Amino acid sequence: MAEVVRLDDARKFFPGVKALDGVTMSIRSGEVHALIGENGAGKSTLVKVLTGVHSLTSGTVYVDGSSVSFRSPHDSQAAGIAAIHQEASMFPNLTIVENIFMGHHLRKPSGLLDWTTMKTRTSELCGRLSLKIPPDTLVRDLSVAQRHQIEIVKALSIDARVIIMDEPTASLSLKEIKELYELVRKLREAGTAIVFISHKFEEIFEIADTYTVLRDGRFVGDGRVADVTTDDLVRMMAGAALDRLFPERTPNIGDISLRVQSLRQAGVFEDISFELHKGEVLGFFGLVGAGRSELMQSIFGVRGRDGGSVIAGAVELKALRPQQAMKEGIAFVPEDRQEQGVVLDMSIVENTTLASLKAVSRFGFPNRRTELSTTARLAKRFSLRASSLLQVVAALSGGNQQKVVLSKWLATDPRILILDEPTRGIDVGTKAAVHSFIGELADQGYAIILVSSELHEVLGMSDRVLVMKEGRLVAEFDRDNAEAEQVLGAAIGATTAQRGA
Amino acid sequence: MEGISNMKHSGFQGTLLHRIIARREITLLVIIVLLVAAVGIRAPRFLQPGRQLSILNDTIILLMLTLGQLAVILTAGIDLSVASNLAFTGMAVAMWNMMMPGVPMIVLVGASILIGASLGAFNGVMVAVGKVPPIIMTLGTMSVYRGMVFLISGGAWVSAHQMSPAFRGFARFSFLGLPSLVWIGVLTTGLVYLFLNHTKGGRELYAVGDNETAAGFVGVSATRAKIKAFVLSGAIAGLTGLLWVSRYASAQNDTAIGFELETVAAAVIGGVSIMGGSGSVPGVVLGAVFLGIVKNALTVIGVSPFWQMAIQGGVILIAIVANTLMDRRNQARLSMNGVSA
C-alpha cells in the first residue's frame, strides 16, 4: 500500500514539556493504523500536528512523499487529512447538508449556493456508507452514533485520504460500535487510510492492521497488529523502570480515616468499597471515563449516589452536601482547576481563604490580617510564584493556580485530601513540587486519595493502588507489587491480574 | 446497517403535527391570525384596510432594523446601537438635504447606507478584532452615536419646511397602491433572506454563532463573519434613518430612542436564539408584525397608555420564556440522545 502521510523525527515542545520527542510514523492507504499510548503519551499532540492545529518544533510531515507545513486546519484538510473530533466540530443547529459543506459550500455560476447539488451529494455520500438519514435533519436531532457517521461522511466530502478517529467508540453502544467497524472496513476497502486511536485492546485487535506505540512523547515501536499480543503492547505502553524521580518516603500508615462501602450510582459506578488510612497515599488509576472523578465527587457530596455509605472517621456522611464532608475534614481538589477549583477573577488571598472563611473571620467578617498570614504561610510552603498575594489568580501560570487550589483546601485544616488529577497540565518542575508536597502531607498524617491517569505518577506516589474500569474496582496492588504492566493491564482489561485486598 | 435506517429513537421521526408545531414560524402565524381576529371582533375598525396599512407602515422600519439585528444575533452578538445609528444617520442626511436641497435622493440613499455601515463597521471591528463583548461595545456606541446626533445638530431639529419636497416624499410616494417605504422594506427583507440563506457569507454567520470552534476547523473566519453582521446591521440602520426622517418629515435628537430594544424583542419573539446560530428571516418578519399588531391593537381597543407598556413588556417576556423553554426541551432531547456536556 502506498504511503500517504509520513512523520519523520517529529518534535513538539511546549514550555517545560516535550509533548512529542522524535516520533516517526508512516500512514498508508487502505490500512487501519492504531495509535497507542497511555494518557499524556503524545497522541493528541500528534493528532493536532497532523490536523494543522499545532506546528512542529522540528521534524517533517510528508504528504505523498513531499514535505509540507500545515499553517492551519484548512491546509491539512486541503491535503486530504480529516479528523473526527466528535461533538467539537459539529453545528447542532444546522442541517446535515450544512455540517458537511460548511467552509466549502457548492455554488451556482450566479454565486448563490447550490442547495440542490449539495443535497444530492450528501445523499450520495450517505448512500456510499449505507446511511439512511434525510439530509435536511438538524444535527442536534441525531444520536451520538449518527453524528459520528456524519463526521465520516464529512471527511469523505472533502475527499479525505486520511481519516483520524480519536476514541470513536467512547460513547457508542455495542451495536453502534459494530456499525462503526463496518464503516471503517468500507473506507479501508476504498483505499482510505485510517488512524484509529483507542484505549481498548479488543478494538485494536479487531479493526487495526498496523500500530504505533508512543510513550512520554517518544516513539516506542510499530509493526503489524497480527505480529503482537496484548501483553507486548502493554509492555511497550508501560515502559521499563521508572525513570522519573518521586519522593522517597517510609509510609507510616495509621488508623482508618475513610471507609467507603458498596457505594453505587447507577450507570456511573457500582459496588465501590475501600478503606483509606491515616498517612497513606491511595492511588486511583483507570482510563479516562472509568468513573473515578464521579466517585470522588460522590464521596465529597457534590454528586448523588444510589446506595452505599461513606464514613469519615466515625461519622457517616449522609447529607450529600460538601459542607458535611468539609466538616468531617475532607478536602476535595477537583479535576478541572479553572471550572471548579479557583475563582479566576479573585485574588490569591481571597481564593485561599474561600473555603475557610469562618476560621479567618471575627464577628462574621473576614479579618484581613488573619487572611494574609494564613495565605502567606501556605504560599511559602508551596513556594508559590506571584508578585503579590493580592494578584488575581487569572494572571498565574497553571502550576501556580494549582498551588492556590491546594492552599485553599489546606487552609480548611483537613484530615483527608482527595486530589483529582492534581498535576494535569502543569509543567515538570511544578509537578515535582506537587509530588514532594503530597509525600510530605502523607508523612504528616494526612490521608490522601490521588486520582491520576498518569500511570507513573500513580505508581511513584501511592502506597496502594486501586484500579477502576468501567465504574468498578477491578484490582488492588500494594506498593511493592504494583508493576506498571499489570496495573495498566487491569485498567485496560487486557490481563486477568486481579488481587484481593 | 439496520440501526442506521431504523430511526425510531431519534428526534426527527414525529408526526406531521409535531413537526408543524416544532416550526415556530407556524405557531407564531397562527397566534397572529387569532390575535387579529380577536381584536377585530372587539373593534371592527381594526380590520379596515387603511388601519392595516398604517400598521404595516409602522412595522416596516422595526422589521428592517430587526433583520440587521438578526444577522448580529446569529453570530451570538447583539447590536444595541441601531436606534442611535438610525438617529445619527437620519439627522446627517436631513441636514445635508437642508443645506443642499439640490442633491439628488439617490445620493442621499447611498450616503445613508454608507454612514450607517461605517458606524456598524466600527462596532464589528471592535467586537471581532478587539474582542470587546458585543453588549458592552454597542451599549457604548449607543450613547456615543446618540451624542453625535446632538453634536452635529447643535440640539436643533430639522423640520418639514426645511426639507426638500423630494426628501419629504421619499418614503411616501405610492407605487402599485403601497407606499415606497413598504416596497423598500420588502426589498430589504428579500435581499437579507437571499444573503442569509443562499450565500456562503450568510451561512457562515450561522456557523460562527452555532459553534465558533467548529467554524474555525473548517476555515470559516469568525472575525469576518462578525464584522459582516455588524456592517449589515449598521447599513440597514442608516437606511432606515433616512426613511424615518422622511416619513415623519422631521429629524430630531431623540428620534427612535429606545427602539433598539424593540428590535431585540421582535427577534426573540420571532424565534431567534439569543445564543446565536439559530433564527430565520420569516421568523423575524412574523416577530416584527406581531409586535406591531400588539402595539396598535392596544390603542385600538382602548387600553390606557399606562397599561400599554406593561402589557407589551408582558408579551415580550412570555415570548422569551417560551423561547427558553423550547431551547431547554431541545437540550433535554440532546442529552437523551446521549450527548453529555
In a domain? residue A38: yes
Residues A279, A281: Cα–Cα separation, whole Å: 7
Containing domain of residue A375, as a range? 339-397
Q: Does residue A175 belong to the interface with chain B, where contact is any CB pair within 8 Å?
A: yes
Sign of the alpha-carbon torsion through A189, A190, A193, A197: negative
- What pTM did the predictor assign? 0.73
Residues A92, B126: Cα–Cα separation, whole Å: 28
How far off is chain A from B289, nearest CA to CA, in Å?
25
Residue among A116, A141, A179, A303 with most chain B CBs within 10 A, to mutate: A141
Q: Are B4 and A130 a contacting pair at CB < 8 A?
A: yes
In a domain? residue A408: no
Q: Which of A39, A62, A47 is nearest to A12 (CA)?
A: A47
In a domain? residue A406: no
Nearest CA in chain B to A126: B4
H or E stretch covering A281: strand A281-285
Contacts of residue B272 in chain A, CB cutoff 8 Å?
none
As to burial, measured by CB atoms within 10 angstroms (0-12 exposed, 13-18 middle, 19+ buried), residue A53 is: middle
Amino acid letter for position B32: I
* DSSP code per residue over A53-70: SS--SEEEEEETTEEE--
Q: Does residue A72 belong to the interface with chain B, where contact is any CB pair within 8 Å?
A: yes
Q: Are A179 and B3 a contacting pair at CB < 8 A?
A: yes
Residues A259, A277: Cα–Cα separation, whole Å: 9
Q: Does residue A116 belong to the interface with chain B, where contact is any CB pair within 8 Å?
A: no
Do A344 and A277 lie in one domain? The reply is no
What is the residue-level pLDDT of chain A in tens, covering all 501 positions?
Answer: 688 999 999 998 877 677 888 899 999 999 999 998 876 678 888 988 998 888 888 899 999 988 888 888 888 888 899 888 755 678 989 999 999 998 888 899 998 999 999 999 999 888 877 788 889 888 988 887 788 888 888 888 888 899 999 888 776 777 778 888 888 998 899 899 999 988 778 888 989 999 999 888 889 889 999 998 888 888 888 765 444 567 777 778 888 989 999 999 988 899 999 999 999 999 999 887 788 989 999 999 888 889 899 998 888 888 788 888 888 889 888 776 655 667 778 888 888 888 777 777 777 777 788 888 888 888 887 777 777 888 888 777 767 787 888 888 888 888 999 998 888 766 666 677 788 888 888 888 899 999 988 888 888 889 999 999 888 999 999 888 888 888 888 888 754 444 333
Residue among A125, A140, A172 with most chain B CBs within 10 A, to mutate: A140
Contacts of residue A112 in chain B, CB cutoff 8 Å?
194, 198-199
The bridge status of strand A447-451 relative to strand A416-420 is parallel
| Residue that finishes a domain, picked among A367, A397, A427 | A397
Q: Are A92 and B200 a contacting pair at CB < 8 A?
A: no
* A475 beta partners: A467
Q: Which of A379, A398, A381, A382 is nearest to A390 (CA)?
A: A379
How far off is chain B from A290, nearest CA to CA, in Å?
15
As to burial, measured by CB atoms within 10 angstroms (0-12 exposed, 13-18 middle, 19+ buried), residue B243 is: buried
H or E stretch covering A372: helix A368-381
Contact criterion met (CB below 8 Å) for A237 and A231: no
Q: Are A73 and B219 a contacting pair at CB < 8 A?
A: yes
Do A301 and A440 lie in one domain? The reply is yes
Q: Does residue A373 belong to the interface with chain B, where contact is any CB pair within 8 Å?
A: no
**ipTM over 0.90 threshold:** no
User: How far is residue B10 CA from its own chain's centroid?
Assistant: 34
Residues B289, A58: Cα–Cα separation, whole Å: 61
Interface residues of chain B, partner chain A, Cβ below 8 Å: 1, 3-5, 7, 9-12, 194, 197-200, 203-204, 206-207, 210-211, 213-220, 273, 277-278, 330, 333-334, 337-340
Residues A122, A134: Cα–Cα separation, whole Å: 9
Q: Mention every residue, 6+ apart, whose C-beta is less than 8 A from residue B321.
A: none
Residues B120, B124: Cα–Cα separation, whole Å: 6
Do A85 and A228 lie in one domain? The reply is yes
Q: Does residue A140 belong to the interface with chain B, where contact is any CB pair within 8 Å?
A: yes
pLDDT at B312: 81
The bridge status of strand A32-36 relative to strand A58-63 is unpaired
Q: How many CA atoms lie within 13 A of A99 on its CB side?
A: 31
Q: How many CA atoms lie within 13 A of B258 on its CB side?
A: 1
Residues A449, A280: Cα–Cα separation, whole Å: 8
Q: SS3 breakdown of chain A: % helix, strand, coil, rounded to 5?
A: 35, 25, 35
Q: Does residue A134 belong to the interface with chain B, where contact is any CB pair within 8 Å?
A: yes
Q: Which of B310, B289, B316 is nearest to B298 (CA)?
A: B310
In a domain? residue A404: no
Q: Are A89 and B217 a contacting pair at CB < 8 A?
A: yes
Q: Are A94 and B207 a contacting pair at CB < 8 A?
A: yes
In a domain? residue A360: yes
> Would you give the DSSP letter of residue A338?
I
* Assigned C-alpha cell, B136: 458592552
Sign of the alpha-carbon torsion through A127, A133, A137, A141: negative
Q: Which of A476, A42, A501, A423 is nearest to A246 (CA)?
A: A423
Compute, in degrees rounded to 10, the torsion defined by CA atoms B172, B177, B178, B184: -90
| Residue carrying the nine cell digits 457530596 | A301
Q: Are B216 and A73 a contacting pair at CB < 8 A?
A: yes
Count other Cβ atoms within 10 Å, centred on residue A435.
20
| Residue that finishes a domain, picked among A195, A218, A238 | A238
Q: Does residue A359 belong to the interface with chain B, where contact is any CB pair within 8 Å?
A: no
The bridge status of strand A256-265 relative to strand A269-277 is antiparallel
Q: Are A93 and B277 a contacting pair at CB < 8 A?
A: yes
Contact criterion met (CB below 8 Å) for A10 and A22: yes
Residues A366, A427: Cα–Cα separation, whole Å: 34
Of B197, B206, B214, the CB nearest to A90: B214
Residues A140, A138: Cα–Cα separation, whole Å: 5
Structural domain count of chain A: 3
φ/ψ of A162, rounded to 5, equals -125, 125
Q: Are B339 and A115 a contacting pair at CB < 8 A?
A: no
Contact criterion met (CB below 8 Å) for A122 and A128: no
Q: Are B219 and A72 a contacting pair at CB < 8 A?
A: yes
pLDDT at B129: 95
* A284 beta partners: A451, A466
Q: Which of A374, A434, A366, A383 is nearest to A410 (CA)?
A: A374
Please report the number of interchain residue pairs, chain A to chain B, with beta-carbon separation below 8 angstroms. 117
Contact criterion met (CB below 8 Å) for B207 and B222: no
Residues B57, A488: Cα–Cα separation, whole Å: 73
Residue among B191, B206, B210, B336 with most chain A CBs within 10 A, to mutate: B210
Do A421 and A494 lie in one domain? The reply is yes
**A22 in helix, strand or coil?**
strand
Contact criterion met (CB below 8 Å) for B180 and B172: yes
How far off is chain A from B264, nearest CA to CA, in Å?
20
Nearest CA in chain B to A171: B338
> Would you give the DSSP letter of residue B252?
-
Residue among B211, B275, B336 with most chain A CBs within 10 A, to mutate: B211
How far off is chain B from A110, nearest CA to CA, in Å?
10
How far off is chain B from A130, nearest CA to CA, in Å?
7
User: How far is residue B246 CA from its own chain's centroid?
Assistant: 20
pLDDT at B340: 35
How far off is chain A from B209, nearest CA to CA, in Å?
9
How far off is chain A from B228, nearest CA to CA, in Å?
16
pLDDT at B69: 97
In a domain? residue A409: no
Which CATH number fits the domain that encloses residue A271?
3.40.50.300
Contact criterion met (CB below 8 Å) for A46 and A21: no
* Assigned C-alpha cell, B314: 408582558
Do A206 and A119 lie in one domain? The reply is yes
Contact criterion met (CB below 8 Å) for A261 and A501: no
Nearest CA in chain B to A48: B217
Do A82 and A192 lie in one domain? The reply is yes
Do A198 and A49 lie in one domain? The reply is yes
Q: SS3 breakdown of chain B: % helix, strand, coil, rounded to 5?
A: 75, 0, 25
Do A133 and A184 lie in one domain? The reply is yes
Q: Are A73 and B218 a contacting pair at CB < 8 A?
A: yes
Q: Mention every residue, 6+ apart, whose C-beta is less than 8 A from residue A382.
A: A403, A406, A407, A433, A437
* Assigned C-alpha cell, B290: 406581531
Residues B3, A152: Cα–Cα separation, whole Å: 17
| Residue that finishes a domain, picked among A238, A266, A287 | A238
In a domain? residue A402: no
Q: Which of B90, B81, B76, B131 is nearest to B231 (CA)?
A: B81
| Residue carrying the nine cell digits 460562527 | B208
Contacts of residue B273 in chain A, CB cutoff 8 Å?
93
Residues A223, A234: Cα–Cα separation, whole Å: 14
Q: Does residue A77 belong to the interface with chain B, where contact is any CB pair within 8 Å?
A: yes
pLDDT at A19: 83
Contacts of residue B278 in chain A, CB cutoff 8 Å?
93
Q: How many CA atoms lie within 13 A of A315 on its CB side?
A: 11
Residues A48, A55: Cα–Cα separation, whole Å: 8
Contacts of residue A128 in chain B, CB cutoff 8 Å?
none
Contacts of residue A158 in chain B, CB cutoff 8 Å?
none
Contacts of residue A93 in chain B, CB cutoff 8 Å?
206, 210, 273, 277-278
How far off is chain B from A366, nearest CA to CA, in Å?
33
Do A158 and A103 lie in one domain? The reply is yes
Q: Are B273 and A93 a contacting pair at CB < 8 A?
A: yes
pLDDT at A103: 84
Pick out chain B residues at pLDDT < 50: 1-14, 334-341
Of A142, A175, A182, the CB nearest to B337: A142
Q: Are B3 and A176 a contacting pair at CB < 8 A?
A: yes
* Assigned C-alpha cell, B34: 387569532
Do A38 and A117 lie in one domain? The reply is yes
pLDDT at A207: 92
* DSSP code per residue over B141-196: HHHHHHHHHHHHHTT--EEGGGS-HHHHHTTT-EETTEEHHHHHHHHHHHHHHHHH
Contacts of residue A144 in chain B, CB cutoff 8 Å?
337-339
Do A288 and A227 lie in one domain? The reply is no
Q: Are A133 and B7 a contacting pair at CB < 8 A?
A: yes
Do A304 and A349 lie in one domain? The reply is no
Of B3, B203, B334, the CB nearest to A102: B203
Count other Cβ atoms within 10 Å, centred on residue A6.
18
Contacts of residue B219 in chain A, CB cutoff 8 Å?
72-74, 77, 103-104
In a domain? residue A142: yes
Q: Mention every residue, 6+ apart, whose C-beta is less than 8 A from residue A268.
A: A291, A294, A295, A471
Contact criterion met (CB below 8 Å) for A461 and A443: no
Q: Mention every residue, 6+ apart, whose C-beta is less than 8 A from residue B126.
A: B132, B137
